[in-house]
Every structure is written in C-alpha cells, then in structure tokens.
Amino acid sequence: ILEDTYNLMKVIKRGREVVSGSIAERICDSYKQLSLAEKETFFNMLVSDHGVAETTKIGITLDRSNPVESIQRLQNLRHITQPQFAGLFRVLGKAQGGVKFMVNMRTDLSKLTGKSTVEATPAVVPVIDHELKQLLSVWFSSGLFHLQRATWESPSRLLEKVAASEAVHPILGWQDLKRRVGAYKRCFVFTHPCLPGEPLVILHAALLENVADTMEKIVPALFEHMPDSVEDPARVKVANFYSISRPIDGLSGIDLGSNIVRRVMHRLQAEYPKLQHFSSLSPIPGFNNWLFGQINRHLQHEVFARILDDVRPESSDLLPLFSDETHVKMMQLFDVDNNKDLYTKLSMTLESQEWITSPVLVSELKQPLMKLCARYLFALKHRGHALDPIANFHLRNGAVMYRLCWQADQSPNGLSQSCGMMVNYRYYPELTEGFSEKYYFTKRIPVGEPFASVISIEPDSLPLDP
C-alpha cells in the first residue's frame, strides 16, 4: 500500500488523475486488509511524506480595485497551502467504493483518538480528519438525499440495518420491528447516491391522538395495534417523532442538512392532509454529565474553602445550582447542615437511580432538576448555538423548544442520561422555515409557554392547539 500510494502521488503531481483509477482501487483494497496499528502507520506516513511539498515563504497582497486578480491570488494560495494528501483523497473518492472507503477511514481515525501507540498520532489524526470532513461535506449534499419509508415489505437488508441502528429504544426482535414499521407507525430512511443502500438518517414516528410527554404513551402504542391493522384517519392527529439516529460513525460532524424533519412532515401531510401537529419526544443525553460536573466543581470549591479556613474567594465563576429558597429546602430534604454534605448526598442519590422509587424524592427534586435541565438546554451554548446536540438538531430544523417532560423515560438509560427527563420539540408547519433561519442567523431559541414557565422567561407567540 505504501508503494502504491507513492506511485499514485506521482501521478497526481503530474496532473494525470484520470489514469489513476486502478492504482486508487488497489490502495482501497490494500487498506481494508490493514490492522488498526498498520493504519496508524499509514496515516503518519501520509502527513510526514505527503503533507507539505517544500518549505515556502508565502506572501500575498489583495487589491480591492482588482477583485478578479485578488481572487486568483487567493485560489493560488489555497492550492499552495492545501496538504498534498488532500489530492490523494479526491482521487480515492472517485474509485469504485471510494466514498465508503473515506467514511470508513474517518471511523478508523476516531478509534485512534486517545488510543494511539505512536507519539505523533494525536497531532496527525485531526489534520487528516479535517481534510476528510471537508471532502465528505461537499459530497454529501443534502439536496441529493432520497427519502423512503421502510415497511415490512422493504428488503431484509434494509430492515436489518434499521433494527441494528436503533440505540435510543432498542428493537426487541422481528415482531417488535414489524410493529415499528406497521400501522400507526412510520419509519423513514434517508439514503444518498454516494453510499447507495446505506441508511444515513433513520427517523421513527408514532401517529397518535395527542402530543406524548412520556415514553409510556408511545411504547404501549407500539404494541396497541397489530402490524397489519387498518389505520383510522380520525385517530391520526399528531405525529410524534420518538427516535432519530445517524448510524454511520464516519459521518459524525458532517452537516446532513437542516430540513430532514420538514421533508418527513411534508411526506406525512401528503398522506394525511389534515395532519397539522408534529412533535418530538427527545432525550437529553448530555444533561447528567453536565450536572455531575457542576456538582463536582461545587464540591471542590467547598474543599478549597475549608483548606483556607472557610475564607472563600470574593469572586467565582461558579453559578449557584439552586436559588436561596430551594437551597434551604434541599438541605432539609437531605438532612444536612453544610454544602459539602448536600452535594455529596445529591450526587450519590442521583447516581443510584433508586430515588425514582421514592414519592417524596420524586416530588421534591422535580422543580430543582427541571430548572437545572432547562438552564442546560436553553442557556448553554457552543459557538452561539445550543450545546445539546439533539436540541441543536431540532432547532436547526425549525422546531420550538416547547416542553420539558418530567419522568418521561424511567428506563436505566433515561435516568443515567437526564434523570428521566425528555423534551418536546414542536414543529409548526407554517413557522418551521422562519424559525430555522432565525436560529441559524441570530442563534435565538424559540420556546413554548410550558418550557418558558420553568425558568421564568417570555414564551414565543405560537398557534393555539385546538
């Protein structure tokens, strides 16, 4: 593979990419046979031997009075500063199965993160990943996505991929799968010409009479009807999206478009023209990690303060977890008289998950945990947009952060992710495009009255439910 790579790079440097197909296919085939350690060596070779052509001093002057020449200079600069192996990737991507090869290569790079045996690898991985991500982002244009409904009559290979990819609410065998693609259920699959037959996005929906605020209202519905039942249009009032997955690790971080849910909505409305209500019931996968991180920071702050004889710094970037009134109630609830014991007991209680069986704890923890979760969803940002990836996905698709749902998922997974809380992201067909654009450009999060009431902010003006 190293010899083929050197030969292919020679061909590319001569500008004769068109005759390099057979070599590219050999490289793809050889790469598949490598162990992860050998792939690591290959990645390091790409950067060391095919990174920068030579030491070059770069200078550029741009003249606004001559925009064409300035653009040409920028294009030349882009060509000079691009790693040589980027040209290799472009050629490999054109080979038979080349795009899948690129996707699998990104998956291998992710496996090396934090597990490399070569000293240079931690710096090499992000360099190669950046170039692959740039190419894949161009190749996977959202306008080329094909939307299809998976049914029991779909090819078994597709159904097997649907079943294997469901991580949020695992599919328990073929009969369960048959129900999830049967009556009053919808399973939509997005594919792309670059990876024919491979589901890139899988979206599950339940057609119910109301917006579901707990998984118990969706899961029984999965077993309520026989898969071959005839749907009664009068009962189809709300489309509840309860699982959206992206099965291919090598496409993580690739923008697959901000209209995925809107396309599904249009598809459902074509089937049921009177259907106007759309909502998700979504997990909050990062809340507990954030919450325990905050608790640990407060614990460390208390220990630090005690070492300094209780003289706390006058200023701190620590935000209080609770209001003064709630803080007093929490001290009473856990029967403690200092913050260190409070945070320790709170952490142990939430980690054990046994609190969910105590009516007193369920009742007393509801308000403080919901406020913290609402703060996490609404206030925590990454580059101006919602930090929570699922929130960001729905908001980019034009949804409203409508309602925070208490005890929505009491499974061990739901409790370990978000203390059992979930979110309704509502979609209003006539408003989705405007909300999507506003969120993208202004980074403003639209909220419904139920969510706004949790953290005492003004809700957006939304259509009234009938």
Q: What are the φ and ψ backbone dihedral angles of 227, each rounded to 5 degrees? A: -55, -30
Contact residues for 197 (Cβ-Cβ < 8 A; gap 6+): 157, 158, 191
- 443, 384 in Cβ contact below 8 A? yes
- 27, 4 in Cβ contact below 8 A? yes
**Catalytic residue from among 282, 298, 418, 436:** 282
**Please, how many CA atoms are within 13 Å of residue 367, restricted to the half-sphere of its CB?**
12
Identify the helix (H) or strand (E) that includes residue 282.
strand 277-282
Three-state DSSP at 105 gives: helix
Strands in 185-191's sheet, in edge-to-edge order, are 146-149, 185-191, 201-208, 238-245, 277-282, 422-427, 400-405
- 183, 235 in Cβ contact below 8 A? no
Distance CA 403, CA 213 (A): 8
- Joined together, the tokens standing for residue 139 give 């190749």
Nearest Cα neighbor of 286 from 386, 215, 362, 360 is: 386
Contact residues for 14 (Cβ-Cβ < 8 A; gap 6+): none
Active site residue 225: no
Count CB neighbours of 336 within 10 A.
16
Rg (CA), the chain: 26
The conformation of residue 236, written as its DSSP 8-state character, comes to -
Active site residue 282: yes
**Catalytic residue from among 279, 394, 418, 436:** 394
- The catalytic residues are 282, 394
